[in-house]
Each structure stands twice: as C-alpha cells, then as structure tokens.
Structure 1
Amino acid sequence: MKNLLNKAIAIIALSAVFAGCTNNDEVISGIGKLGVEFDNSFGSNDLILSTQTNTTSNNEVLKINSVKYIISNIVLTKEDGTTFTYPKNESYFIVDEATEISHLLELTNVPAANYTKIKFGIGVDKAQWELGATGQGNFLATAQAAGMMWSWSAGYKFLAFEGTFTSATVANSTSFKVHTGQTGTDYNYTEVTLDLPTKAMVRTTIAPEIHVVADVSKIIDGTNKIKLSDNNMGGMGAMIMGGTSLPLITANLNGMFTVAHVHND
C-alpha cells in the first residue's frame, strides 16, 4: 500500500511538472482583439442617470443627467515590461453614460501577449489638437455631434459632468455643469495607468475584456473636494469650466478609474 501511495504521489508530481512546462513553452504569436469596458458608478452604487440621488462628502445632493468623457492614447504593457501603443489615429473614443454601445471600446490588431497594465488619456492630447482642424480626422465631427467641443478655437471638452444639486445653502434644485479642457494656459489633459488584477491574455482565439469602473463621484469628491454651491452663479447654476477648481478636478480624475476584473474568454 505504501509503495502504491508513493507511486501515485510521484505520478502527480510529474504531471504537474509536465503541465508547467507546457504552459511555459506556449508560443504566443499573431494578433487578436481586446475590449475595454467602462462602467460608471457613484461611489459603490451603479450610476443611474436623472433619478438617482447621490450625496457627496460635503453633503451636496446630486442628480446626474449626463456624463461623457474622451478616452485616448491607449498603451498596453506586456508581462515582460514592453509596451504596445494603440495606433494614435484610432485611439480617440467618447464614453457616454446614456449610450450603452459607447461603453465598450473594441481594440483590433492587438499583438498576442499577456498584458498586465493599461494606460489611457482623459481628453485629447495637446500635440493632437495642435495638428489643427484638418488633422483631427473623423474624430472632430464625432466630438461635435456628441457635444464635446466648445468651439474649434477653444478646443475639446475632455469631460462633461452635468445635472442638478441641492445643498445646505442651495435649497432649490439647481443645475450644475463641470467641463474640463483647455482653459487659458492650463491644458488639463491627464493620463491614467492601471494595473490589471489578472493578465489580459490576447490570442488569435481569445479576445479578453478589461472591466474598468469609473467612480464619477471622484470628479468633485476625490482628493480635492469641490463644492458646487461655492460655484453657484444664481440663475445660471453652478458652472465649473475654468478657474482654480479645474486643475484640481483634473487631478481628481487620476483616482476615478479602477479595474474590477479581466475576462479571458
């Protein structure tokens, strides 16, 4: 009996060794697809537009009517530390909470590899904008149709966060608008780098999806706490489209995104 048990243990050990060798010796080649899904929340709650009440740490109560932001310049890091930069002319997307199809970015012709990080921009980088209107390709018309332009001379809206609010000093429901983008000498473009909790295994036969949660509460209630009531302009509502608050909001965006999980199927 003892000999049989020892043989069984040896067989299991050898099987594990061979399985490990098989995995380590996998030849990864070709190209595949990768999805990046953006799921908006407010704190720990899934975001529901227009009807959901959301309370900030400053005890301001928000109903959010619209959230849109530009995702750009996607860079993927492989497990060996090398990177793949998605083609720049294909790397500008608008995520709109009200348009479900926009939540999933579908990247094609991605080199097969095991990816461990993703980096992306929030907005349109200055180098791209400086190419002028004719250098924007189809994205200029896309942004105009989505309401993500102020004007060509003023540039793109990188993020648009809108709704109504009340507070201790604003009893009646009042509109608010938070728009980031170029203001004066501040360009307010920023980039976010996220570690993946598990590898995204891009293969010719596997198209992983990276599920990114965007906590929109962080826009005004992140490291920097912004009170809408401090920016209330009476009949125009609270409007933050420049001034000293906008760089603080841009800094908050770095803490807005986390990766919930990766699907490798």
Structure 2
Amino acid sequence: MKYPLIKIIAFGLIITALLSFVNPPKAKTNGTMVLKFNNLFNNQAVEFGKEYTNAHGEKLTLKTLNYFISNIKLTLKGGGEYVVPQDSCYFLVKQSDIGTQQIVLHNLPAAKYTAISFMVGIDSTRNTTDISRRTGTLDVGSTAKVMYWSWNSGYIFFKMEGQSPVIPDSAGNNFYYHIGGFGGFQSKTINNIRTKSISFNESVSNKNKIPVINIDVDVAALFNYKTPILLAKDPDVMWGELSVKISENYISTFNLGSIDYATATNSDK
C-alpha cells in the first residue's frame, strides 16, 4: 500500500503543476498611487486674480486653467509597463476645483515603478466615439461641457484664460488659449495631442503604502519654452499653427516635483 500512496501523491503534484502552468497566478492588483498636479507660475502657486509677469515682461492675471490627463502608463522596474484601463483613465484637472487636482489610481499591481507617461488631451478614438458613449469626465453635456467645441466636434485639451493690461481695453484686456485638435477624422487637421514621460529617478513601490507623485505644472513656460508667445501680439488662440506651438510649449510645463508616501488603509492593501 505504501507505493500506491506515493504514486497518488506524485500524480497530485503533477496535476497541480500543470494547472499552475495553464492558469499562472496573477499579479496582485491591490496597489494604489496618487498623482497630484500642482499648478504654478514662475514657481509660485497659481491663484486666480494674482498678478504675474511672463518672460516678456507682460503682466497678467489668470481666471481659468483646465486640462485633460489621459492614457496613463506606468513603467515597471525591470522592464515592461502597466497600462491603466482606458475606461477609467480620463481626468479633467481644474484650478478652480482642488478635488480634481489629485488623481487616485486604484487596483494597480503591487510592484515597483520607475516612470510614468500620460497624455495631455483626449485621444482620437474617444474624440470620435459616439457622444452617447462618452460619460463621466467626457460627458460633453455636463462635466466636459466647458472643454468641448461643438462647432469643431472635439475636446479642448488645455484651456487658459486671463487678463493683461497689454491687451486693448476694446477686448476687455482678455486673453484666452483654447488648445485642441486630434488630427482629424475624415480629413487631416492639426494634431495637438501631446504625451509627457516623467522618470521618477528612483524605484517607487506601492506595496503596503501609497506613493504620491507630485507633478509641478509651471504654466509660465507656455509663453517661452520653444516658441515665444506674446500676449500683446497673440491674445487669443484656438486653432492654426500657433496652437501647435503653444501645445509644444505647455507640455514642457509638466515635470516631477517630489515623491511622498501616505499610509495605506486596509481598503488600499
């Protein structure tokens, strides 16, 4: 009876091994990460109505600052990446709403990460999806109403508005930059979709703790990073080649600030 028992145990081990091969254990997906967007102007926290001076000596105040963040990907230590599911990967950050400036990513693999990439804007697929299927953040009748062109059937990716004394009184001293354009649907148009990649400069773990990735967005660079943008010359831009230049400028404003950690609660573990 001894040998048959050994054979039974051995057979059981073989079956277990085969089942493990067919159904390998999945990575533990109970990690959390927070992305905190800190809007700045020349390293000062943005405050609506506060006077700032751009690189060209033009004084200005801000009254609107909104932008979409989407298509988030995290680089895993050792190679590979985790792509945040698209259906839960669209966010509208608004300076006027502090709650939107902190994006919480749930159900991530508990792992170590070295970098992040995200899109400032909305991809062409979502721009052309039937409006009835665009819900939540992308609902053009509600949340996204102020970030959508009905005349151009597309989302505004980045919106900054304010006032400056260098702009004529006849225009109310107002300036506005409403930047969008996903490349077109039936015919080619400008494409202002921009992707930003940020290295963490260290290995960031979300196992039993919550990393808070502070991303500084210093919008002063919009006026002078690659292409000089003068309020006196171009106070209102929504389309055309200059909008491309502005998008190339503002993508540079997104940079790593610091990395902090919060203690995970039982629901985060």
User: Same fold by TM-score, threshold 0.5 exceeded?
Assistant: yes
In the comparison of the two structures, how many residue pairs are matched?
229
- 1:171 deviation in Å? 7.7
Counterpart code for 1:174:
N
SS in 2 for 1:145: coil
Partner residue, 1:235: none
The percent identity for this pair of structures is: 25
C-alpha distance after superposition, 1:128-168 (max 9, x if no partner): 2122213323333267435111117521110110010123x
Q: Distance in 2 between matches of 1:217 and 1:170?
A: 22
Asked if residue 60 in structure 1 is aligned to residue 58 in structure 2, the reply is yes
Q: Distance in 2 between matches of 1:89 and 1:166?
A: 43
SS in 2 for 1:101: helix
Asked if residue 100 in structure 1 is aligned to residue 98 in structure 2, the reply is yes
Partner residue, 2:40: 41
Counterpart code for 1:182:
G
SS in 2 for 1:124: coil
- 1:30 deviation in Å? 4.3
- 1:123 deviation in Å? 0.8
Asked if residue 195 in structure 1 is aligned to residue 199 in structure 2, the reply is yes
| Unaligned runs of at least 5 residues, structure 2 | 1-26, 263-269
Indicate the larger mover: 222-231 or 66-75: 222-231
Contact 2:71 2:84 in 1 (8 A): yes
C-alpha distance after superposition, 1:174-198 (max 9, x if no partner): 0011011028711311110001133
Contact 2:74 2:82 in 1 (8 A): yes
- 1:264 deviation in Å? 2.7
Pick aligned residue for 2:217 from 207, 214, 217: 214
Q: Distance in 1 between matches of 2:177 and 2:195?
A: 19
Counterpart code for 1:74:
I
Counterpart code for 2:237:
I
Asked if residue 113 in structure 1 is aligned to residue 116 in structure 2, the reply is no
- Runs of 4+ with >6 A deviation: none
Contact 1:197 1:261 in 2 (8 A): no
C-alpha distance after superposition, 1:94-126 (max 9, x if no partner): 000110101100111000111111100011011
Partner residue, 2:243: 246
Contact 1:129 1:136 in 2 (8 A): no
Contact 2:90 2:138 in 1 (8 A): no
Partner residue, 1:156: 155
Q: Distance in 2 between matches of 1:143 and 1:44?
A: 35
Aligned CA RMSD, in angstroms, stands at 2.1
Q: Distance in 2 between matches of 1:39 and 1:199?
A: 22
1:163-178 pair list within 5 angstroms: 163-167=162-166, 170=168, 174-178=173-177
- 1:170 deviation in Å? 4.8
Counterpart code for 2:257:
A
Asked if residue 186 in structure 1 is aligned to residue 190 in structure 2, the reply is yes
Contact 2:117 2:196 in 1 (8 A): yes
Counterpart code for 1:192:
K
Contact 2:34 2:104 in 1 (8 A): yes
Contact 1:200 1:210 in 2 (8 A): no
Counterpart code for 1:87:
P
Q: Distance in 1 between matches of 2:130 and 2:113?
A: 34
SS in 2 for 1:57: coil
Q: Distance in 2 between matches of 1:189 and 1:38?
A: 19
Asked if residue 264 in structure 1 is aligned to residue 267 in structure 2, the reply is no
| Unaligned runs of at least 5 residues, structure 1 | 1-27, 232-237
Distance change (3 Å), C-alpha of 1:127 and 1:142? closer
Partner residue, 2:11: none
C-alpha distance after superposition, 1:205-250 (max 9, x if no partner): 211110000011122232211112112xxxxxx3110122100011
